[in-house]
Amino acid sequence: MSRILGTQFGVEQREPYPSEVEFFKSDPNIAGMATFDDRVILSPFFEGSDVERQSVLNNERARVFMRTRGIRPGFKVSRDQADRFQDYGSLRDIRETIAARIFSDDPSAGSPTKDQQKFVTRLRREMFRFEKARKR
């Protein structure tokens, strides 16, 4: 078992398993990921600032939160976003990627539509509501 490093929005951050370290080593452009066990990990090779690290964790936590809480985006994807994320899997995967990136203020999401912003506002409200209830 890997050590738990923290929890936010009900999603734990843990240390990566050896196989995950090898994955990150093989692609140093990947800063972190949501894992099969509904936790988040950061690449040990990621040298970003504290703000950048928090942004990556927020992105991945949003993915896990959507997956585990059943909050699924149904918004349309712009042509630019469809082109940008064409290799990211299913339409659901693409929508969740876009939503998580908007949530974490990652400009690589492209220009968010009004429906995307509306969904992320709802997601943000639910995540912060969960965090507030957890701390009581």
**CA–CA gap between residue 34 and residue 62 (Å, rounded):** 9
Give the pLDDT confidence of 70-90 residue by residue, as tens digits: 999 999 999 999 999 999 889
Q: pLDDT digits over 85-111, tens only?
A: 999 889 999 999 999 999 999 999 989
Rounded to two decimals, the pTM is 0.90
The predicted pLDDT at position 135 comes to 72
Model pLDDT, residue 97: 93
- What was the pLDDT predicted at 134? 74
As a whole number of angstroms, the distance between CA 59 and CA 33 comes to 9
Q: Is 8 helix (H, G, I), strand (E, B) or coil?
A: strand
26-53, pLDDT tens digit by residue?
998 899 999 999 999 999 999 989 999 9
